[in-house]
Chains A and B, each alone.
Chain A
Amino acid sequence: MSNIWIVSDSADVAAQMLTPALALAGSGDEVKAMVTTDEAAQAVAARGVAVMRLQLADNRFESALPVMAEQIKAAPTRAVLVSATPRGRETAAGLAALLDAPMASEVSEVRADGDAVEVKRYMLGGMAVSTLRLAVPACMTIAGGTFVAPEATGSGAVSALDVPADARVSVDSLKPVARQGVDLASARRVVCVGRGLEKQEDLAIIEALAKALGAETACSRGVAEDLKWMPLDRYVGISGVRLKADVHVSVGISGQVQHVAGIRDAKVIVAVDQNENAPIFQAADYGVVGNLYDIVPALTKALA
Chain B
Amino acid sequence: MSDRFAKKRRFGLLTAAAPPRRTLVRRLGACCFVSTYFVDATREQTTFELLEFAVGGGGVSLHDPAALKRQRRPSSQHRNKDYHMPNSIVCYKWVMDEQDIKVNPSTLELTTAGAKWKISEYDRNAVEAAVAIQEAHGGSVQAMSFGEENLKNSLKDVLSRGADSVTWIADAAAAQADAAVTAKVLAAAIRKAGVPDLIFFGDGSADLYSQQVGARVAALLGLPHVGNAQSLQFTDGKLLVERQLRDSVETVSVTCPAVVSVLPAANTARIPSLKQILAAGKKPMNAVTVADLGLSADDVTPRQQQVSLLGAKMDRKNKIFKESTAEAGVAALVQALKADNVL
Q: Mark B304-334 against chain A: 1 for CB-CB distance below 8 A, else 0.
A: 1111111110101111111101110111111
A128 touches B245 (CB 8 A): no
Minimal Cβ-Cβ distance residue in A for B253: A170
**In-complex Cβ contact of B253 among A95, A172, A294, A295 (8 A):** A172
B307 touches A289 (CB 8 A): no
Q: Which A residues are in CB contact (< 8 Å) with B337? A: 268, 270, 286
B183 touches A175 (CB 8 A): no
Minimal Cβ-Cβ distance residue in A for B329: A288
The answer to whether B211 has its CB under 8 Å from any CB of chain A is yes
With known contacts A127-B103, A232-B265, A289–B327 Cβ distance under 8 A: no
A85-B337 Cα distance, complex, nearest whole Å: 35
With known contacts A90-B261, A281-B320, A97–B219 Cβ distance under 8 A: yes
A215-B254 Cα distance, complex, nearest whole Å: 42
A172-B236 Cα distance, complex, nearest whole Å: 15
With known contacts A102-B178, A129-B310, A169–B342 Cβ distance under 8 A: no
B212 touches A130 (CB 8 A): no
Q: Dominant SS at the A interface?
A: mixed
Q: Dominant SS at the B interface?
A: mixed
The answer to whether B209 has its CB under 8 Å from any CB of chain A is yes
Q: Which A residues are in CB contact (< 8 Å) with B98? A: 124-125, 127, 257
Q: How far is the CB of B115 from chain A (nearest CB, A)?
A: 11
Choose the segment among A20-28, A132-140, A145-153, A154-162 that binds chain B (4+ C-beta atoms closer than 8 Å).
A132-140
B307 touches A94 (CB 8 A): no
B219 touches A98 (CB 8 A): yes
Q: Mark A203-244 against chain B: 1 for CB-CB distance below 8 A, else 0.
A: 000000000000000000000010000001000001100000
27 A–B contacts, CB within 8 A, in A order: A86-B228, A90-B211, A93-B212, A93-B213, A93-B214, A96-B180, A98-B219, A103-B180, A105-B211, A122-B312, A124-B110, A125-B206, A129-B311, A170-B252, A172-B252, A174-B249, A177-B247, A239-B209, A270-B333, A284-B320, A286-B320, A287-B319, A287-B320, A288-B320, A290-B329, A291-B326, A299-B330
Count of chain B residues with a beta carbon within 8 Å of a chain A beta carbon: 81
A133 touches B305 (CB 8 A): yes
The answer to whether A302 has its CB under 8 Å from any CB of chain B is yes
The answer to whether B46 has its CB under 8 Å from any CB of chain A is no
A131 touches B312 (CB 8 A): no
The answer to whether B250 has its CB under 8 Å from any CB of chain A is yes
A86 touches B245 (CB 8 A): yes
B322 touches A89 (CB 8 A): no
Q: Which A residues are in CB contact (< 8 Å) with B253? A: 169-170, 172
The answer to whether B246 has its CB under 8 Å from any CB of chain A is yes
Q: Which B residues are in CB contact (< 8 Å) with A126? A: 312
A272-B294 Cα distance, complex, nearest whole Å: 56
A271-B333 Cα distance, complex, nearest whole Å: 10
The answer to whether A65 has its CB under 8 Å from any CB of chain B is yes
Minimal Cβ-Cβ distance residue in A for B258: A168
Extra contacts, 16 of them, besides A89-B215, A124-B98 (Cβ < 8 A), are A65-B219, A93-B179, A97-B183, A97-B215, A105-B209, A105-B211, A123-B209, A133-B304, A134-B303, A171-B250, A225-B265, A264-B314, A270-B337, A283-B316, A287-B320, A288-B329
With known contacts A102-B178, A299-B330, A135–B212 Cβ distance under 8 A: no
Q: Which B residues are in CB contact (< 8 Å) with A286? A: 317, 319-321, 333, 336-337, 342
**In-complex Cβ contact of B318 among A105, A130, A284 (8 A):** A284
Which A48-107 residues sit within 8 Å CB-CB of chain B? 62, 65, 85-87, 89-98, 100-105
The answer to whether A260 has its CB under 8 Å from any CB of chain B is yes
B304 touches A102 (CB 8 A): yes
The answer to whether A298 has its CB under 8 Å from any CB of chain B is yes
**Nearest 4 pairs between A and B by C-beta?**
A294-B326, A93-B215, A97-B219, A93-B212
**In-complex Cβ contact of B327 among A101, A131, A284, A298 (8 A):** A298
Minimal Cβ-Cβ distance residue in A for B102: A127
B219 touches A130 (CB 8 A): no
The answer to whether A276 has its CB under 8 Å from any CB of chain B is yes
A270-B319 Cα distance, complex, nearest whole Å: 9
B309 touches A281 (CB 8 A): no
Q: Which B residues are in CB contact (< 8 Å) with A283? A: 314, 316
Q: Mark B90-122 against chain A: 1 for CB-CB distance below 8 A, else 0.
A: 000000001001010000001000000000000
Q: Which A residues are in CB contact (< 8 Å) with B183? A: 97
Q: Which A residues are in CB contact (< 8 Å) with B224? A: 166, 168-169
**In-complex Cβ contact of A276 among B244, B314, B322 (8 A):** B322
The answer to whether A282 has its CB under 8 Å from any CB of chain B is yes
B326 touches A94 (CB 8 A): no
With known contacts A133-B304, A247-B342, A285–B321 Cβ distance under 8 A: no
